[in-house]
């Protein structure tokens, strides 16, 4: 494989007269392919199959590389194998049927921990509505709830002595979610304080009742959280109840949480849905490294 790479790079430089930057980019990409194939026990170009190259494309995407990067790698190895066929080293080109990566949905947007802290501190807790909003945002971030699960949370499903909530999610499936000390403390304060003001006769089943009856609506809370984002200097389009859920999952994984545990807390039926947050965490770490490392400046 080493000789094949050297032969192609020499051809690219001399015969095709590609620029030094282009040749160096091909060299980096093909060196990574060589390492990947070596890990599969493949040392010679003749042993490479289409399935190996497809697996390499999947590897690139799974390790957080974007669609454009994966497409660039595909272009590099297709040029290599075409060259080897023209030179008579190979009878067939294994890269011919390797498809370009499908269009990927954008990764979920995540707030930084500093932005989350600023957002949670924004409500005026001395007011009834501010106390309610602060408690709701703390639950979203600490428990990773969907906003529909949050607004429909019933008082009978609080298990604060055990640090748990019984949540009804999609498809009416129930799951137990740990609250964490900060969310538990916020809930205890709300249930014994602000909620009693909203429902002095304790007739409402909801943790967050509306003054007009029923529970606070998703739309009303969505509007409130946008206002708090503006108050603390965060672009309102970057903040929503669901983005606090995204931030919950990503920050847990960044701190070493088990993927299966995060899946259970989020209520995902399929772990592949949860795995998107591993890509978010890797991309965030890559950006931090690129922005902070002295050789990246």
Quick check: 12 and 26 in contact, CB under 8 A? yes
293 in catalytic set: no
170 in catalytic set: yes
Catalytic residue chosen out of the listed positions 49, 113, 170, 287: 170
Catalytic residue chosen out of the listed positions 73, 131, 146, 246: 146
CB atoms within 10 A of CB 46: 14
Strand partners, 154: 206
CB atoms within 10 A of CB 152: 19
Backbone CA torsion sign across 99, 72, 25, 284: negative
Instruction: Say how many CA atoms lie within 13 Å of 142 toward its Cβ.
Output: 21
Catalytic residue chosen out of the listed positions 72, 175, 218, 242: 242
242 in catalytic set: yes
Q: What are the structure tokens assigned to 71, written together?
A: 């497409």
Catalytic residue chosen out of the listed positions 26, 56, 228, 277: 277
Catalytic residue chosen out of the listed positions 243, 245, 251, 284: 245
Which class for 274: exposed (0-12), middle (13-18), buried (19 or more C-beta within 10 A)? buried
245 in catalytic set: yes
Catalytic residue chosen out of the listed positions 215, 268, 279, 284: 268
243 in catalytic set: no
Instruction: Say how many CA atoms lie within 13 Å of 45 toward its Cβ.
Output: 26
Q: What are the structure tokens assigned to 177, written together?
A: 């979610």
- Point out the residues that are catalytic: 146, 170, 242, 245, 268, 277
């Amino acid at each position: 494989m080493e000789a094949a790479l050297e032969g192609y790079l020499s051809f690219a430089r001399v015969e095709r007269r590609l620029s030094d930057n282009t040749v160096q980019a091909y060299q980096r990409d093909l060196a990574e392919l060589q390492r990947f194939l070596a890990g599969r026990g493949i040392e010679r170009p003749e042993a490479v199959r289409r399935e190996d190259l497809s697996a390499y494309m999947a590897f690139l995407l799974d390790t957080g590389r974007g669609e454009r990067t994966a497409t660039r790698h595909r272009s590099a190895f297709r040029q290599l194998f075409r060259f080897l066929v023209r030179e008579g080293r190979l009878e067939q080109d294994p890269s011919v049927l390797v498809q370009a990566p499908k269009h990927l949905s954008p990764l979920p947007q995540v707030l930084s921990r500093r932005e989350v802290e600023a957002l949670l501190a924004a409500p005026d807790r001395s007011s009834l509505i501010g106390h309610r909003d602060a408690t709701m945002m703390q639950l979203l971030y600490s428990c990773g709830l969907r906003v529909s699960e949050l607004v429909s949370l019933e008082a009978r499903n609080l298990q604060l002595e055990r640090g748990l909530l019984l949540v009804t999610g999609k498809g009416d499936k129930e799951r137990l979610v740990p609250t964490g000390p900060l969310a538990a403390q916020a809930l205890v304060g709300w249930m014994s304080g602000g909620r009693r003001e909203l429902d002095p006769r304790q007739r409402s089943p909801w943790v967050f009742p509306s003054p007009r009856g029923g529970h606070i609506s998703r739309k009303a809370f969505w509007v409130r959280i946008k206002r708090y984002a503006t108050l603390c200097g965060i672009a309102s389009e970057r903040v929503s109840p669901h983005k606090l859920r995204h931030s919950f999952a990503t920050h847990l994984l960044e701190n070493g949480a088990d993927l299966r545990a995060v899946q259970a807390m989020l209520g995902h039926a399929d772990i592949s849905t949860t795995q998107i947050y591993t890509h978010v965490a890797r991309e965030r770490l890559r950006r931090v490294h690129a922005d902070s490392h002295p050789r990246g400046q």
